[in-house]
Structure 1
Amino acid sequence: MRLSRPARITLGALTIAVLIVVYVPLFVVLVNSFSTSQSLVWPPPGFTLEWWGTAFQNRGALSALWTSVQVASLATVISLVLGTLVAIALQRHSFFGRQSVSLLVILPIALPGIVTGIALNNAFRTILGLQLGFFTIVVAHATFCIVTVFNNVQARLRRTGTNLEEASADLGAGLWTTFRLVTFPQLRSALFAGGLLAFALSFDEIIVTTFTAGVGTTTLPIWIFQNLFRPNQAPVVNVIAVVLVVVSLVPIYIAQRIAGAERVPK
């Protein structure tokens, strides 16, 4: 499709405007992490590496970082297992209510985070009688991380079809052997990309976490929010925010590269 010159100019201007709105604030955070000022000011009066050293010696920030890594890792593992099983069940089998189940699986990612947080908070405390903490955060994150794995696996299963699996069955292989030698090798890159996206999604989540963390369990996004307006903490918060952006960006970039490589015709 060829666009007219005015349409190309308009589209280009809108694209640049959107990129400016999204990335200029991130650039400001990056620059302020090197600022000599102890508050959020612009432009910075000077530049220093002091806050980076301070941030990596901050026990509260390091503890919150480790908690976020643990939560994201466990939520990713749960999502990989359950998301894959659900995708295979819905894509390879026909049964009554299949479309409804598919909708229910995808729904958590579409719901506002505050609604999910309130619902899970009520379920954990009043229905299940659980104390909010590390376990409830992992379960809460897994509910929406499953969707990324589910979508990736389901899309791959649609593309690969069932010919190889049927050939494996015709040759006498059982369900587990067919999955191990035929289905799983076809899903590995989709699982890897889905797992990376799930980890990134969990690592920087704050809304649902706020409702399910309880007292005494602090993830990195919650630590940033709690310390943002404390005296003399702004530069350290900027440093941690930059680290959070980088940690979230790397898995997303790798997943995008994997998806892009698979679309290249051989």
Structure 2
Amino acid sequence: MLRLNRGTRIALAVVTLVVLGFMYIPLFVIIMNSFNSGRVAGWPIPGFSLEWWGKALVNPAVHAALLNSVIVALVATAFALLLGTLAAFALQRFRFFGQHTVNLLIVLPITLPGIVTGVALSNTFHQVLKPMGISVGYWGMIIAHATFCVVMVFNNVIARLRRMNPNLEEASMDLGAGIGQTFRLVTFPQFRSAFIAGGLLAFALSFDEIVVTIFTAPPGVETLPLWIMNQMARPNEVNQVNVVATVMILLSLIPVYFSQKASAAGDAK
């Protein structure tokens, strides 16, 4: 076991505190400003008030944006779970010409800058599909989110498949179980935690997406991150944004927590 001297431990502790402070102090400022009694966000806050919480929680624009974010994230995650899992099985269980190229193409959307993906999809929707009489509308935004959500599921599932013991499936088939029964009772339980973790990460990624959404959202439709960005140009509304951001910070902990828990459970098996 590696042992560090006292000076090194102190230096690591200081660096850790600086990094954590750099990451979390701005979040603390947002949370505190959600209780700001003043009309304009600032620091330090002049006093505490629940006025902005009351306004934000009954704001119909917030409700509509939240609903859009949840719908888009849920449907995009559903597509990602299906396509990402099928792609992971195809690339792990079979050998075919161009396999590495297909693997690269699946992972590529998450490595591209969001603005590149957004511009490419926007051009496709408006300059290629629309002249052909195909209007993607709301579904275009969902498809755009699904393109990078697939990667989250794919990476989690294929990593688990590579560690699975194929002998268990062969034993199940030898004992008379069909393909469906073997998948349900033997295969799926082995990668279930990775499947759930990938789905939770995909949902969180879609829910938080802003750049691709700017280019693919139909007119008049706002997701929650898009609503936040638009409200930042209105100083008198910034404290409502701080309330929504505080709620999002708290809600973001849920998928991350369960994703980590699912991954840890799978690694323990």
TM-score band by shorter chain is over 0.9
Q: What displacement does 1:27 show? A: 0.5
Equivalents in 1 of 2:193, 2:101: separation in Å? 27
The aligned residue for residue 204 of structure 2 is 200
Q: Is the aligned partner of 1:82 residue 2:83?
A: yes
Equivalents in 2 of 1:219, 1:133: separation in Å? 14
The aligned residue for residue 65 of structure 2 is 64
Partner-residue secondary structure (3-state), 1:238? helix
Partner-residue secondary structure (3-state), 2:236? coil
1:71-99 CA deviation, whole Å, 9 max, x = no partner?
00001111000010000111111111111
Q: Give unmatched runs, 5+ long, in structure 1.
A: none
Equivalents in 2 of 1:50, 1:87: separation in Å? 49
Q: Is the aligned partner of 1:209 residue 2:190?
A: no
Q: Contact (CA 8 Å) 1:148, 1:198: kept in 2 or not?
A: yes
Q: Is the aligned partner of 1:37 residue 2:38?
A: yes
Q: Is the aligned partner of 1:244 residue 2:248?
A: yes
Q: Contact (CA 8 Å) 2:194, 2:266: kept in 1 or not?
A: no
Aligned length in residues: 265
Q: Is the aligned partner of 1:150 residue 2:154?
A: yes
Equivalents in 2 of 1:164, 1:262: separation in Å? 17
Partner-residue secondary structure (3-state), 1:232? helix
With over 3 angstroms needed to count, the CA separation of the structure-2 counterparts of 1:144 and 1:70, relative to structure 1, is same
The aligned residue for residue 165 of structure 2 is 161
The aligned residue for residue 98 of structure 1 is 99
Q: Is the aligned partner of 1:133 residue 2:137?
A: yes
Partner-residue secondary structure (3-state), 2:84? helix
With over 3 angstroms needed to count, the CA separation of the structure-2 counterparts of 1:132 and 1:226, relative to structure 1, is farther
Q: Contact (CA 8 Å) 1:132, 1:212: kept in 2 or not?
A: no
Partner-residue secondary structure (3-state), 1:236? helix
Q: What displacement does 1:128 show? A: 2.1
Q: Give unmatched runs, 5+ long, in structure 2.
A: none
Equivalents in 2 of 1:15, 1:72: separation in Å? 33
Equivalents in 2 of 1:36, 1:209: separation in Å? 33
Partner-residue secondary structure (3-state), 1:160? coil
Partner-residue secondary structure (3-state), 2:222? coil
Counterpart among 180, 185, 194 of residue 189 in structure 2? 185
Q: What displacement does 1:9 show? A: 2.9
Residue 156 of structure 1 aligns with an amino acid whose one-letter code is R
The aligned residue for residue 8 of structure 1 is 9
Query: TM-score under structure 1 normalisation?
Result: 0.94
Equivalents in 2 of 1:178, 1:261: separation in Å? 22
Q: What displacement does 1:196 show? A: 0.8
Q: Contact (CA 8 Å) 1:165, 1:183: kept in 2 or not?
A: yes
Bigger drift between 2-11 and 133-142 goes to 2-11
Q: Contact (CA 8 Å) 2:118, 2:213: kept in 1 or not?
A: yes
Q: Contact (CA 8 Å) 2:193, 2:265: kept in 1 or not?
A: no
Equivalents in 2 of 1:6, 1:99: separation in Å? 47
> Over the residues paired in the alignment, what is the CA RMSD in angstroms?
1.6
Moved over 6 A (4+): none
Q: What displacement does 1:231 show? A: 4.0
Residue 85 of structure 1 aligns with an amino acid whose one-letter code is L
Partner-residue secondary structure (3-state), 1:17? helix
Equivalents in 1 of 2:105, 2:209: separation in Å? 21
Q: Contact (CA 8 Å) 1:55, 1:61: kept in 2 or not?
A: yes
Q: What displacement does 1:132 show? A: 5.8
Q: Contact (CA 8 Å) 1:131, 1:214: kept in 2 or not?
A: no
Query: TM-score under structure 2 normalisation?
Result: 0.93
1:131-157 CA deviation, whole Å, 9 max, x = no partner?
463211110111111111111111111
Equivalents in 1 of 2:3, 2:252: separation in Å? 36
Q: Contact (CA 8 Å) 1:149, 1:198: kept in 2 or not?
A: yes
